[in-house]
Amino acid sequence: MKIKRVEHIAVAVNSLRQSLDMLQNTFGIPLEYEERIGATRLAMLPVGQTYIELLESEAPDSGVNKWIAEKGEGLFHICFEVEDIDGALAELKAKGVKLRDETPRIGHGGARIAFIDPASTGNILIELAELHP
The pTM of the whole model exceeds 0.75: yes
Over the chain, what is the mean pLDDT? 96
CA distance 5 to 81: 6
CA distance 84 to 131: 9
Classified by CATH at the fold level, domain 3-130 comes out as 2,3-Dihydroxybiphenyl 1,2-Dioxygenase; domain 1 (3.10.180)
Average pLDDT score over residue span 43-49: 97
How do residues 77-116 score in pLDDT, each as one tens digit?
A: 999 999 999 999 999 999 999 999 999 999 999 999 999 9
133: pLDDT strictly greater than 80: no
The predicted pLDDT at position 132 comes to 83
CB 97 within 8 A of CB 116: yes
CA distance 77 to 124: 7
Domain boundaries, the chain: 3-130
Beta bridge partners, 130, equal 112
The predicted pLDDT at position 31 comes to 97
